[in-house]
Amino acid sequence: MLLVRMSYLMRVKCYSPVSEMPQVTGALLRARRLRHVLGSKFSASRALAQLSAENAASHDYVIVGAGSAGCVLASRLTEDPLSTVLLLEAGPKDTLLGSKRLMWKIHMPAALTYNLCDESYNWYYHTVPQKRMDNRVMYWPRGRVWGGSSSLNAMVYIRGHAEDYNRWSREGAVGWDYEHCLPYFKKAQTHELGPDQYRGGNGPLHVSRGKTNHPLHRAFLEAAQQAGYPFTDDMNGYQQEGFGWMDMTIHKGQRWSTASAYLRPAISRPNLSVTEKTIVTKILFQGTKAIGVEYMENGQRKKAFASKEVILSGGAINSPQLLMLSGIGNADDLKKLGIPVICHLPGVGQNLQDHLEVYVQQRCTKPITLYNAQKPINMVKIGLEWLWKFTGEGATAHLESGGFIRSQAGVPHPDIQFHFLPSQVIDHGRAASTMEAFQVHVGPMRSSSIGWLKLKTTNPNDHPIIEPNYMSTERDIWEFRQCVKLTREIFAQKAFEKFCGPEIQPGDHVQSDKEIDAFIRQKADSAYHPSCTCKMGQLADSSAVVDPQTKVIGVENLRVVDASIMPSVVSGNLNAPTIMIAEKAADMIKGLPPLHERNVPVYRPKTLETQR
């Protein structure tokens, strides 16, 4: 223990600058006197709220970011009527300006590609040129709107494998093993198929299965079984491995973001305040204690104070960026930019992990894909039906089937993921489909390539430098070859005989390992799963940023709750795990005992000596 403590003290060098807000100290003293007069039931935070003349708002909690995690926290923390919460969001509401009407591009599931191209509610990040990807600058869309990336994503609900969370526990996130995480997945969820040992039945997050019954989805699942893979009736339940029908965060034909599931039902609570279009510029400290934030709203610089905690839920890019802007990060990097150091925490912005994927596309010999649906007259018809009844082609994201397999014998749990789509996607959907075609999105789940992000400037509006370091290991290169080869094997099965025309990409001319590698470098793109940049771990871990209670190491009253605190990326899409993280953190913040389900059965392959 002594060695651990010495290691911690040597790594976490915390500084105590003079408070930059003496006027607030006076306000706090007057608030305490007011509390004394009015009695102990009147909290200091309530007293501060009465001091509007002080030109600063005070709440128990200030949450930065109304995304997948922030909306959950805002809802759960305000279930206590005595807890006041301010939720700050950089983007707009997910409704039309001056109206309660929903933005159709966000809430129509089939319109998801529009969100990936709209800078009005998308951070529109880009990486630095990737030297192992033909020096391509990679596009990283992230949500800047109520609901965050849950308002932009493809609505696929995947939890990851049980072993992902057991690995977290081994990596230092004690208490985040599968038995302690599964109850929070269930707490969040209402599955349309009803509750069971793995599904929830009373949560705010509605999850459904696809309704199209499209012949290409059926062919894909049949072909996967012909290739030797099992069918799984719930890849979020007992058995992830295999192919089956996807769960989706779609409810009654509409996208069910965390803004819809958590924030909007809570918005009328008097103890919740929510903003839009407010850029948080830094966290305010008194010594090493977080006491609030500074932010810009309508061109005005404002401050908000938190009597209990400041909670960052900006995601894997924004949360480490704000920590560094506020003086928490690698001290050498901060000093170079002239940022006063509050706490030397070198793990901030490091350990960046993402999923990379490639599209394997096949021409379809029958006019049954979504190609015709993308013609203007048909889009109008689809849109009108959706606006009128929330049904039809507009009521699904069409990613209704998929699967998980192991790349080779000996891999303990699936490390390749497939999403099947009865359409062709070009450049993140920013270019129109050109033909009748279908495709698989396929990529490795546990890449060994690790990246980082750093501040470019001290301007909060400037995007940070993002270096995912894609394809930097031989293992990643080999796994991607497997992705292409195994997808081709599935498309070659009898179930696809009546649908398969020529391969569009990679194309029949791409056969050798060298040719496949070149194709990957040219065409692979982010699956939009940045994570792990504020790693959760133990105090003795020099790369850890938060402890297993989600508290930032070395300072007080400051937490990070979002995908950035994952110790390592999970084997699947990130929205469901991020919501789970926020549900679990909410109980921690409220001081509730953790939920725990023991001895939950999880599928194990009959033998690890064979791939299938």
In a domain, 201, yes or no: no
Q: In this predicted model, what pLDDT tens digit does every residue of 535-553 receive, in sequence order?
A: 999 999 999 999 999 999 9
d(CA 397, CA 248): 9
Angle (nearest 5°) at CA 275 between 315 and 146: 50
Helix (H, G, I), strand (E, B) or coil at 558: strand
Predicted pLDDT at 96: 62
- Full-model pTM: 0.92
Q: In this predicted model, what pLDDT tens digit does every residue of 454-513 receive, in sequence order?
A: 999 999 999 999 999 999 999 999 999 999 999 999 999 999 999 999 999 999 999 999
Q: In this predicted model, what pLDDT tens digit does every residue of 564-608 receive, in sequence order?
A: 999 999 999 999 999 999 999 999 999 999 999 999 999 998 877
In a domain, 382, yes or no: yes
Helix (H, G, I), strand (E, B) or coil at 586: helix
529 noted as active-site residue: yes
Write down how long the chain is. 612
Domain count, the chain: 1
Catalytic residue among 355, 428, 529, 596: 529
* 152 — pLDDT class (breaks 50, 70, 90): very high
In a domain, 564, yes or no: no
Residue 479: domain span = 105-141+212-257+353-526
HSE-CB of 56 using CA atoms within 13 angstroms = 26
In a domain, 63, yes or no: no
Outline where 39-158 has alpha helix (H): 44-50, 70-77, 104-107, 112-115
Helix axes 178-188, 162-170, angle to 10 degrees: 130
- Work out whether strand 85-88 and strand 57-64 pair parallel, antiparallel, or are unpaired: parallel
d(CA 309, CA 218): 50
Q: Which helix (H) or strand (E) holds 402?
A: strand 401-405
In a domain, 66, yes or no: no
In a domain, 220, yes or no: yes
d(CA 500, CA 145): 40
Under a CB-based contact definition with an 8 Å cutoff, are residues 374 and 433 in contact? yes
Q: In this predicted model, what pLDDT tens digit does every residue of 164-193 receive, in sequence order?
A: 999 999 999 999 999 999 999 999 999 999
In a domain, 487, yes or no: yes
In a domain, 223, yes or no: yes
CATH of the domain at 406: 3.30.560.10
